[in-house]
């Protein structure tokens, strides 16, 4: 592993001991935790307290689209901190308006207002409230293979094990989305998968009663559930069904938005226009916690005369707003979204195809831009998922070689920052190759 000069006063062991004494971690049994220490980063590289470097092919929680420590974003935050570090949401401050304008510049026509939140979960939470208030209906349809965040309605809308503590929430209905590799619909082509998933969605709408359904909430490309690319016709079909039954569409672009797929929004690649868009992560790469909802003019107008009964102390926080303005400006000026598209097309796609040709443990590769998954199997014919024990070994083999991976279930998600270079992708592919060979 390469070594960067250590700049910390602490050893890794000291940092871990302090963490284990006082920090309660997310999504984990606390007892056996030994978190990887990180102290600093630049671009696609991070390092620990002792100067050991890692290629960050996780983008942390798939949120560092602009890379670590982008100087323009750090400078933007510092400048705003000197001017005014915090104000109440009821006041107007120029930087907040600028952030909202920068965001809506990349949204579809007729979506001109932004409600700011603290992150992605509360973005979905408030999008759901807006949809319910706008339609006067209650139910939200979402998918089993999805994650929408760890708060009330957002966790209830989530489809997998993560929703269990909230399973008693009312008015949430789940459907299966398309996923040809493990089709719920016995389909054997993308077109058939799309048609049958749409049929299942329409039958669910009818069975639930369309007049009771406020919104269909979808991650445009389900992320933590496996980078599940929508097959041809699916997204356009969802829009057509929503229009037929008078239901709103909320697209959750928290993970897939702001350049990750090689487009500003993931839905730019599909024939669908949402009514509400939930965003967070890539909007400012998480330099300051923020998220929000982009609202159609029609829905925003609902609240011209009527109070929207919601708000957050830090909605549109000036430091978050400054980081959004600096981040989107840098992405525009430096062609960072275009870089993500090029990297996906010319480097990650062929790199993963070469790995799949060599390693029979790779069952399927899928994705676009800097948003990819390798689905790993014990047997290519039966598609039996690679065991948790082998996934653990693989993860260890990658970290040992200086690559920070994103793993979920039986998958490695290949999700570097959108600023990643061809040389860094080449190095990562060599590391994936060695680790898969070791397996």
CA separation for the pair 126, 62 (Å, rounded): 22
Q: Which two tokens stand for residue 171?
A: 């008015």
Q: Does 121 bind ligand PLP (CB under 6 A)?
A: yes
Question: 77 or 228: whose CB is closer to ligand PLP?
Answer: 228
Residue 257 CB, nearest approach to ligand PLP (Å): 9
Q: Does 408 bind ligand PLP (CB under 6 A)?
A: no
Q: Does 226 bind ligand PLP (CB under 6 A)?
A: no
Q: Which two tokens stand for residue 88?
A: 């109440």
Question: Which residue reads 């669908």 in tokens?
Answer: 272
Q: Which two tokens stand for residue 204?
A: 């669910």
Instruction: Identify the bridge partners of residue 411 per DSSP, sorted by sequence position.
Output: 375, 408
CA separation for the pair 70, 105 (Å, rounded): 22
CA separation for the pair 101, 294 (Å, rounded): 11
Q: How many residues bind ligand PLP (CB under 6 A)?
A: 16
Binding string to ligand PLP for residues 48 to 77, with x set by CB under 6 A, is what? -------------x----------------
Residue 391 CB, nearest approach to ligand PLP (Å): 19
- Can you say whether residue 409 is alpha, beta or left, with left for phi > 0 and alpha for psi between -120 and 50 degrees? left
Residue 68 CB, nearest approach to ligand PLP (Å): 18
Q: Does 275 bind ligand PLP (CB under 6 A)?
A: no
Question: 61 or 236: whose CB is closer to ligand PLP?
Answer: 61
CA separation for the pair 83, 341 (Å, rounded): 36
> Which sign does the torsion angle of CA 244, 245, 250, 255 carry?
negative
- Near ligand PLP by CB under 6 A: residue from 41, 43, 67, 120: 120
CA separation for the pair 354, 144 (Å, rounded): 32
Length of the chain: 439
Q: Does 274 bind ligand PLP (CB under 6 A)?
A: no
Q: Which two tokens stand for residue 101?
A: 């304008």
Question: 39 or 252: whose CB is closer to ligand PLP?
Answer: 252
Q: Does 254 bind ligand PLP (CB under 6 A)?
A: yes
Binding string to ligand PLP for residues 283 to 302, with x set by CB under 6 A, is what? --------x-----------
CA separation for the pair 263, 135 (Å, rounded): 30
Question: Which residue reads 């390798």 in tokens?
Answer: 374
Closest-CB residue for ligand PLP?
120
Q: Does 147 bind ligand PLP (CB under 6 A)?
A: yes
- Near ligand PLP by CB under 6 A: residue from 48, 252, 375, 424: 252
Question: 144 or 185: whose CB is closer to ligand PLP?
Answer: 144
Q: Which two tokens stand for residue 265?
A: 């929004």
Q: Does 219 bind ligand PLP (CB under 6 A)?
A: yes
Residue 73 CB, nearest approach to ligand PLP (Å): 18
Residue 411 CB, nearest approach to ligand PLP (Å): 14
Q: Which two tokens stand for residue 47?
A: 């390092």
Question: Which residue reads 């980063």 in tokens?
Answer: 41
Which range, of 97-105, 234-242, 252-260, 298-306, touches ligand PLP by CB under 6 A?
252-260
- Near ligand PLP by CB under 6 A: residue from 15, 142, 224, 410: 224
Q: Does 125 bind ligand PLP (CB under 6 A)?
A: no
Residue 255 CB, nearest approach to ligand PLP (Å): 4
Q: Which two tokens stand for residue 51?
A: 């100067």
- Near ligand PLP by CB under 6 A: residue from 127, 255, 376, 394: 255
Question: Which DSSP string corresponds to 250-312?
Answer: EEE-TTTTTTTTSSSSGGGGSS---SEEEE-GGGTTTSS--EEEEE-HHHHHHTSSS------
Residue 243 CB, nearest approach to ligand PLP (Å): 24
Binding site for ligand PLP (CB under 6 A): 61, 119-121, 124, 147-149, 219, 223-224, 252, 254-255, 280, 291
């Amino acid at each position: 592993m390469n070594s960067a000069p250590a700049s910390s006063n602490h050893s890794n062991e000291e940092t871990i001991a302090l963490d284990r004494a006082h920090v309660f971690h997310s999504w984990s049994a606390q007892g056996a935790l030994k978190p990887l220490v990180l102290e600093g980063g630049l671009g696609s590289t991070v390092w620990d307290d002792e100067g050991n470097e890692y290629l960050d092919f996780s983008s942390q929680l798939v949120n560092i689209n602009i890379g670590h420590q982008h100087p323009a974003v750090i400078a933007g935050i510092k400048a705003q901190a000197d001017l005014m570090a915090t104000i109440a949401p009821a006041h107007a401050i120029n930087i907040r308006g600028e952030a909202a304008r920068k965001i809506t510049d990349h949204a579809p026509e007729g979506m001109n207002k932004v409600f700011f939140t603290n992150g992605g979960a509360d973005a979905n939470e408030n999008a759901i409230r807006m949809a319910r208030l706008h339609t006067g209906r209650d139910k939200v349809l979402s998918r089993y293979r999805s994650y929408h965040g760890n708060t009330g309605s957002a966790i209830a809308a989530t489809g997998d094990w993560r929703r269990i503590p909230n399973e008693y929430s009312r008015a949430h209905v789940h459907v299966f989305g398309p996923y040809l590799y493990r089709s719920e619909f016995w389909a054997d082509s993308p077109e058939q998968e799309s048609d049958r998933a749409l049929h299942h969605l329409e039958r669910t709408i009818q069975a639930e009663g369309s007049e009771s359904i406020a919104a269909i909430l979808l991650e445009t490309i389900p992320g933590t559930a496996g980078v599940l690319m929508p097959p041809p016709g699916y997204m356009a079909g969802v829009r057509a069904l929503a229009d037929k039954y008078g239901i709103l569409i909320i697209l959750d672009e928290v993970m897939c938005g702001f350049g990750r797929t090689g487009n500003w929004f993931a839905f730019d690649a599909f024939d669908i226009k949402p009514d509400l868009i939930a965003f967070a992560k890539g909007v400012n790469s998480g330099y300051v916690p923020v998220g929000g909802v982009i609202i159609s003019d029609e829905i925003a107008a609902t609240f011209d005369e009527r109070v929207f009964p919601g708000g957050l102390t830090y909605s549109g926080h000036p430091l978050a707003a400054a980081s959004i303005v600096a981040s989107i400006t840098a992405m525009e000026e430096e062609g960072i979204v275009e870089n993500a598209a090029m990297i996906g097309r010319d480097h990650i796609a062929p790199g993963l195809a070469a790995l799949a040709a060599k390693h029979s443990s790779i069952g399927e590769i899928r994705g676009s831009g800097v948003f990819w998954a390798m689905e790993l199997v014990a047997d290519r014919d039966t598609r039996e998922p690679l065991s948790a024990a082998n996934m653990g070994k693989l993860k260890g083999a990658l970290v040992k070689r200086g690559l920070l991976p994103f793993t979920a279930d039986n998958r490695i998600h290949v999700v570097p920052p959108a600023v990643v270079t061809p040389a860094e992708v080449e190095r990562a592919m060599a590391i994936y190759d060695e680790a898969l060979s070791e397996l």
